Amino acid sequence: MIKEEIEKLREQLNHHNHLYYLESNPEISDFDFDQLLKKLQELEEKHPEFADPNSPTKRVGGDITKSFNTVKHDIPMQSLGNSYSEEEIQEFINRIYKELESDQVEFVCELKYDGVAIAIKYDGGKFLQALTRGNGIQGDDVSNNVKTIKSIPLKLRGVYPEKLEVRGEIMFSNAQFEKLNEEMIANGDQPYANPRNTASGTLKLQDSSIVAQRGLDCFIYSNVNSKGTSHYEAVTGLNEFGFLTPSVKNNRFKICSSKKDIMDFIHYWGEHRFDLPFAIDGIVIKVNSLEQQRLIGSTAKAPKWAISFKYQAEQVETTLNEIVLQVGRTGAVTPVAQLEPVLLAGTVVKRASLFNEDYIQKLDLRIGDTVQVEKGGEIIPKVTAVNMEARSSDSVPYTYPELCPECNTPLERKEGEANHYCVNEVSCPPQVIGRMQHFISRKVMDIQGVGDETIVSLFEAELIKAFIDLYGLTYDDLIGLEGMADVSVKKLLQGVEDSKNKPFQTVLFALGIRHVGEVVAKTLARNFKNMDALMNASEEELIGVNEIGKVIVQSILEYFSNPHHQALISRMKELGFHLEISEEEASQSSQKLQGMSIVISGVFVDHSRDELKKLIELNGGKNSGSISKKTAFIVAGDKMGPSKFEKAEKLGVKIISEQDLVKLLNE
Ligand code: IVH
């Protein structure tokens, strides 16, 4: 009965996932989807006997891979020969005609996705394993991470073969990449520059739940063991199994019988590639017939029946009018090139990031220079070179400003860091405004009735200089300001008042301490339990917390040693903010596991893995992903892997049950 219910839920979730991610045609709301998922999660937790490594609940991640196993590919993952011109395409076609002794050849043209290659195996229609390309002969097993990618089926649809291996490309859509960077900036971290490298780094993250949050995509371009007659058929068939494959309908996959057809395809995407919602770096031309592919064969490195045509990164020349320094919420300074507006890859470019002082020096950029601007794999254009011949004889080397352009405070650059910082966090306007905007934002204190614009106007009206001033605003201060009628004033005041009820971990995140994002704030809150303990924590105590590295520790120590921040925290106490964990959490907390490194493994009955992790942290312990001599004990549920058992035995590490853990904590 329960088993059937679980299976039905899995089927429903797979079906709705497919409609959402492959058909872009959802039938139920996100809310209803989440309800179904939650129900399945609960049932699976209660009934570990019906666990399934390919359940849709695995999409949210949570499995940790300490080190990735290297696995040999059944069939090597080759690369592709490149071409850059019409002549080279002609040579490729001539070679094929010659090999086949015929010019009756069909080609398929498709997009060359700019991501990371992946090989995914299925057995009996179920996801079995995903490997990176590695050196082509062997790659890394990144299955836990790949399973979180929603456009990859965990269970195949339709009539599928017993064994299947597909290959494709994992990548970020432009929208997801921008979203990720917005979050990086909101957390006070440097944004990523390049979607391809970030996709590659994401696949190698140890914590699959972070991979799940990043929203990677996957396009499949080949079926390794196709039994059909053509590549075209093979790929279209894959779509029926539930993979995201290129479509003929929008000209992303096309049968071409002549050089003209191929060149038309190349030119079309040369013009339209920046309209795509993701990055491509060229197109791929393949012989369509699988029989002809076999006849033509491969070299050691690449098939001879396929070639890629690479687009040059689009480049234009323009004048560098000025370099302005932008100051972010954390005081990090970014130099930005102000360019003479120029058309590049379909958009007018006026600005380009120059990253830091070293970048400017390496290029020897000078105001007035004629510079090359390029749009390649990156979404944001880059200045890549100076046209030295066009340089005017009276140009002078650029000297990096010594003062903050916003508040005239001397800029600082720490040893080993590339960025300059403005350290005047108390009154440098973009820092003050940025921090307040972070504070009120939806993911942080979520203050109703206050938006980014409100913060700017209140700051300009000199009503607020720091987020704490929001808590002193009165009806009379606000009424009559632009856009502030009775209803909106009341809403704002209520929103501010309500925000005092946010939990400690959110308040900690809201302070905007550099490198203390949502996850770090949660870890700190659970470990130190209240603000006083955190403020008084020594360097050793902070370093002792799992997943808190040196850079974060320095930033925390620096933050709390500042008298302004100490005064701020006192004021927050007076106002009644939650500066300690909730009573419920406190009742579960102790120092019983102080300093112990604990591994949890297997499937549990009374608690979810997250609950167990939280319990361990609340009681002073550290969660660790792998067993070592230092492991205090292992909390094992059902289905703990045999290799873990062996390792525990060898090292003499004690294994206890979840009930034992609870008993231990209640003693
Ligand atoms: S076919 C035997 N088709 O490009 C090689 N590859 O430069 C089969 N790539 O490692 C590759 N889009 O990761 C093929 N439509 C596409 C592709 C594609 C991107 C990547 C692939 C490969 C690299 C080779």
112 is catalytic: yes
Per-residue model confidence as pLDDT tens digits over 580-622? 999 888 888 888 898 888 999 888 888 888 889 889 988 988 8
Dist CA 548 CA 308 (whole Å): 44
Dist CA 514 CA 556 (whole Å): 8
134 lines ligand 1 (CB under 6 A): no
Mutate which of 169, 225, 294, 310 for ligand 1 pocket (most atoms within 8 A of beta carbon): 169
Q: Is 104 exposed, middle or buried (0-12, 13-18, 19+ CB in 10 A)?
A: exposed
Per-residue model confidence as pLDDT tens digits over 105-152? 999 999 999 999 999 999 999 999 999 999 999 999 999 999 999 999
Mutate which of 296, 308, 309, 311 for ligand 1 pocket (most atoms within 8 A of beta carbon): 308
Dist CA 207 CA 431 (whole Å): 32
The CATH architecture one would assign to domain 81-310 is: 2-Layer Sandwich (3.30)
What's the mean pLDDT in 43-62? 87
The CA-to-CA distance between both ends of the chain, in Å, stands at: 38
Query: Which of the following is catalytic: 58, 112, 254, 529?
Result: 112
Q: Is it the case that residue 388 has pLDDT exceeding 70? A: yes
Q: What are the structure tokens assigned to 406, written together?
A: 């916003």
- Tell me which H or E stretch contains 521: helix 518-528
What's the mean pLDDT in 454-461? 95
110 lines ligand 1 (CB under 6 A): yes
Backbone angles phi, psi at 110, to 5 degrees: -145, 175
Q: What per-residue confidence (pLDDT) applies to 362?
A: 95
- How many CB atoms sit inside 10 A of residue 431's CB? 25
| Sequence ranges of the chain with CATH classification 3.30.470.30 | 81-310
Contacts of 374 (CB under 8 A, 6+ apart): 313, 314, 315, 381, 382, 383, 384
281 lines ligand 1 (CB under 6 A): no
The CATH architecture one would assign to domain 590-666 is: 3-Layer(aba) Sandwich (3.40)
The three-class DSSP label of residue 356 is coil
Strand-pair category, 420-422 with 622-624: unpaired
Question: 471: CA distance to ligand 1 center in Å?
Answer: 57
Question: 117: CA distance to ligand 1 center in Å?
Answer: 7
Residue 355's region, left for phi above 0, alpha for psi from -120 to 50, else beta, is left
What's the mean pLDDT in 410-424? 92
Among 81-95, 177-191, 518-532, 564-578, which stretch is predicted with the lowest mean pLDDT? 177-191
Nearest residue CA, atom 16 of ligand 1?
112
Q: pLDDT category, 638, cuts 50, 70, 90?
A: confident
| Sequence ranges of the chain with CATH classification 1.10.150.20 | 504-587
Q: pLDDT category, 376, cuts 50, 70, 90?
A: low
Q: Which CATH superfamily is domain 2-60 in?
A: Helix hairpin bin (1.10.287.610)
Per-residue model confidence as pLDDT tens digits over 222-281? 999 898 899 999 999 999 999 999 988 889 999 999 999 999 999 999 989 988 999 998
Taking CB atoms within 8 Å and a gap of at least 24, the contacts of 632-635 are: 632/593, 632/596, 632/597, 632/598, 633/596, 633/598, 633/599, 634/598, 634/599, 634/600, 634/601, 635/598, 635/599, 635/600, 635/601, 635/660, 635/661
What's the mean pLDDT in 144-171? 95
Q: Indicate the angle between helix axes 86-100 and 259-272, nearest 10 degrees.
A: 140
Dist CA 530 CA 321 (whole Å): 51
112 lines ligand 1 (CB under 6 A): yes
Contacts of 377 (CB under 8 A, 6+ apart): 114, 194, 195, 196, 279, 281, 313
Sign of CA dihedral 48, 53, 58, 62: positive
Q: What per-residue confidence (pLDDT) applies to 168?
A: 97
What is the percent of the chain where pLDDT is above 70? 99
CB of 40 closer than 8 Å to CB of 6 = yes
78 lines ligand 1 (CB under 6 A): yes
Q: What per-residue confidence (pLDDT) applies to 190?
A: 74
Q: Tally helices (H) and strands (E) across the chain.
A: 25, 22
Supply the CATH classification number for the domain 504-587.
1.10.150.20
- DSSP assignment, residue 604? -
Mutate which of 284, 290, 293, 310 for ligand 1 pocket (most atoms within 8 A of beta carbon): 284
166 lines ligand 1 (CB under 6 A): no
Closest ligand 1 atom number to CA of residue 110:
15
| Sequence ranges of the chain with CATH classification 3.40.50.10190 | 590-666
What residue has token string 């944004």? 191
Q: What per-residue confidence (pLDDT) applies to 151?
A: 94
Q: What per-residue confidence (pLDDT) applies to 544?
A: 80
Closest ligand 1 atom number to CA of residue 114:
19
Global confidence as pTM: 0.68
What residue has token string 């001879």? 304
Question: 112: CA distance to ligand 1 center in Å?
Answer: 6
Q: What per-residue confidence (pLDDT) applies to 249?
A: 83
Question: 525: CA distance to ligand 1 center in Å?
Answer: 46
- How many CB atoms sit inside 10 A of residue 563's CB? 7
Q: What per-residue confidence (pLDDT) applies to 377?
A: 58
Per-residue model confidence as pLDDT tens digits over 327-374? 988 899 999 999 999 988 777 899 998 989 999 999 999 999 999 999
The top-scoring range by mean pLDDT among 18-32, 100-114, 513-527, 587-601 is: 100-114
CB of 221 closer than 8 Å to CB of 166 = no
Closest ligand 1 atom number to CA of residue 308:
7
Contacts of 250 (CB under 8 A, 6+ apart): none
118 lines ligand 1 (CB under 6 A): no
Nearest residue CA, atom 2 of ligand 1?
78
Nearest residue CA, atom 22 of ligand 1?
79
Mutate which of 74, 80, 308, 311 for ligand 1 pocket (most atoms within 8 A of beta carbon): 80
CB of 544 closer than 8 Å to CB of 536 = no
Q: What per-residue confidence (pLDDT) applies to 614?
A: 86
Dist CA 335 CA 327 (whole Å): 9
Q: pLDDT category, 378, cuts 50, 70, 90?
A: low
What residue has token string 């940790």? 64
- DSSP assignment, residue 393? T
221 lines ligand 1 (CB under 6 A): yes
Closest ligand 1 atom number to CA of residue 302:
2
Max Cα separation, the chain?
88
- How many CB atoms sit inside 10 A of residue 382's CB? 20
Dist CA 449 CA 441 (whole Å): 11
308 lines ligand 1 (CB under 6 A): yes
Question: 626: CA distance to ligand 1 center in Å?
Answer: 35
| Sequence ranges of the chain with CATH classification 1.10.287.610 | 2-60
Question: 115: CA distance to ligand 1 center in Å?
Answer: 9
Per-residue model confidence as pLDDT tens digits over 474-503? 999 999 898 899 999 999 999 999 999 999
Question: 80: CA distance to ligand 1 center in Å?
Answer: 6
How wide is the angle at C-alpha 290 spanned by C-alphas 23 and 149, nearest 5°? 30
The residue with greater pLDDT, 4 or 60, is 4
Q: How far is CA 480 from CA 421, 447, 465, in A?
A: 38, 21, 20
Q: What per-residue confidence (pLDDT) applies to 454?
A: 95
Q: How confident is the prediction for the chain on average, in pLDDT?
A: 92
Domain 315-403 CATH assignment equals 2.40.50.140: yes
- Tell me which H or E stretch contains 519: helix 518-528
Dist CA 169 CA 110 (whole Å): 13
Nearest residue CA, atom 23 of ligand 1?
79
Q: What per-residue confidence (pLDDT) applies to 13?
A: 94
